[in-house]
Amino acid sequence: MTILETESTLTARYQTTIPDAVRKILGLRKHDRVVYRVSDSGEVLLAKAGAAGTEDPALAPFLALLDARMSQKPSSIVPYTDSDAADDLALVKGVALD
């Protein structure tokens, strides 16, 4: 089901502007990243990076590492305690974030 159809033009450098209506529907803002998925039939899906259906490239390797660690040395997996959290917060105390 199509809810919107719009077009844009490619520049000489193969750049284009994402139409305002599409930006609003996807909730895109300046400096956001987008993902393009191209099907076998040539259809292209444009989505906001990090939106549902996009995958964090670090997640699979991290989960594989945890799986291997649990298999090889299950006793090394321990709960993250309130004391651990307090220690971690102390490490970043006074660090300015923007």
Q: Spell out the domains of the chain, with CATH numbers in brackets.
A: 1-78 (2.10.260.10)
Cα 43–Cα 49–Cα 11 angle in degrees, nearest 5: 60
CA 47 to chain centre: 11
Q: What's the pLDDT tens digit per position in 19-73?
A: 999 999 999 999 999 999 998 899 999 999 876 655 677 888 888 888 888 889 8
| pLDDT confidence of residue 3 | 85
pTM of the model: 0.49
| pLDDT confidence of residue 50 | 79
Strand partners, 38: 44
| pLDDT confidence of residue 76 | 84
| pLDDT confidence of residue 72 | 92
- Look up residue 65 and give its two tokens: 């590492």
Question: Burial code of 66-92, b = ≥16 C-beta within 10 A, e = fewer?
Answer: eeeeeeeeeeeeeeeeeeeeeeeeeee
Q: What's the pLDDT tens digit per position in 1-18?
A: 778 899 999 999 999 999
In this predicted model, which residue has the larger pLDDT, 95 or 57?
95
